Amino acid sequence: MRIATWNVNSITSRLPRLLAWLESTGTDVVCLQELKCTAEAFPAEPLRELGYEAAVNATGRWNGVAIVSRVGLEEAVVGLPGGPEYEGVQEPRAVGATCGGVRLWSVYVPNGREVGHPHYEYKLRWFAALRELVERETGERPFAVLGDYNVAPTDADVYDPAVFEGATHVTPAERQALADLREAGLSDIVPRPLKYDRPYTYWDYRQLCFPKNKGMRIDLVYGNPAFEAAVKDAYVDREERKGKGASDHAPVVVDLDV
C-alpha cells in the first residue's frame, strides 16, 4: 500500500497536479492539508472518476483536511475529538479514517504565528488534544498521524537553525509536543534523502528558497510499531515541488507491506 501526505495549499489550484500525480504514482491513500475550500466545493467527482473516495473536513478560508482513498474508507471521524477552539471556532484541522486496514489521521497543526501569541498557545493545546487521541486510538493495528505538523523536529530539519532562532516551528515547547507523541507510542518515519542531504518537505515561495534548497521538514508521518514495522520505503517526492503551479510543500510518500 502506498500512503502519502501532502499540503496542497489550495486543492482548487492544485487539482490538475493532484489528479496527474495520483495516476502517475499509483498512490492508494493521500492525506491532504490546507484545502482552502468548503466541504461542498471539494472536488469529489474528479477523484471518484479515478476510483477514490474522500473524508473531508473543510469550511473554507485557510484550513481544511481530507483523506482520499481507493482502498476503502471506514470509521471516518471529522474533527479532532476534544480539540480546542480558536476565537470560538474549532477549526477544520483533522480527519480520521481506516483505509485498507490502516488507521490514519490527516492533520494540519496550527501555525502558531509567533511565540507568545494566542495562536501559539492554541497550537500547544491542539497538540495536547492530539496526544490524547493517539493514546485512545493507537493499538495493535497499523496507525499513523500524517500531515503538516508545522514543527521541525530537530535543528537538522531546517536549512539554517540561526535563521529560525526565537521563531515558531523550532521552539522547545513545540518540539516537546512531538516528543510527547513519541512517548505515546509513535515513531517519526523519516524519509530517506535522495539527491539532497536532508529530506525537506517545505520551501517558501520567496527568495528562491526551493532552488537554493532552503527548506524545512515539517510534513511528518508518525506511526505506531505496527505501522513502522510495515514500512518498506519512505521518501519526499521533491519533483512535485517543481514547475509552475506547484504547492510550496512536497508530498511525503510511505510504502507499506500490509
Domains, the chain, ordered by start = 2-256 (3.60.10.10)
**For 203-245, how does the pLDDT look when each residue is reduced to its tens digit (9 = 90+)?**
999 999 999 999 999 999 999 999 999 999 999 999 999 999 9
Confidence of residue 78 (pLDDT cuts 50, 70, 90): very high
Rounded to the nearest 5 degrees, what angle is found at the Cα of 49, between the Cα atoms of 43 and 54? 50
**For 7-61, how does the pLDDT look when each residue is reduced to its tens digit (9 = 90+)?**
999 999 999 999 999 999 999 999 999 999 999 999 999 999 999 999 999 999 8
pTM of the full structure: 0.97
pLDDT at 175: 98
Phi-psi sector, 54: left (phi>0), alpha (psi -120 to 50), beta: beta
| Residue 194 scores a pLDDT above 80 | no
Hey, how many other C-beta atoms are within 10 angstroms of the C-beta on 112? 24
| Dist CA 12 CA 160 (whole Å) | 33
Mean pLDDT of the chain: 96
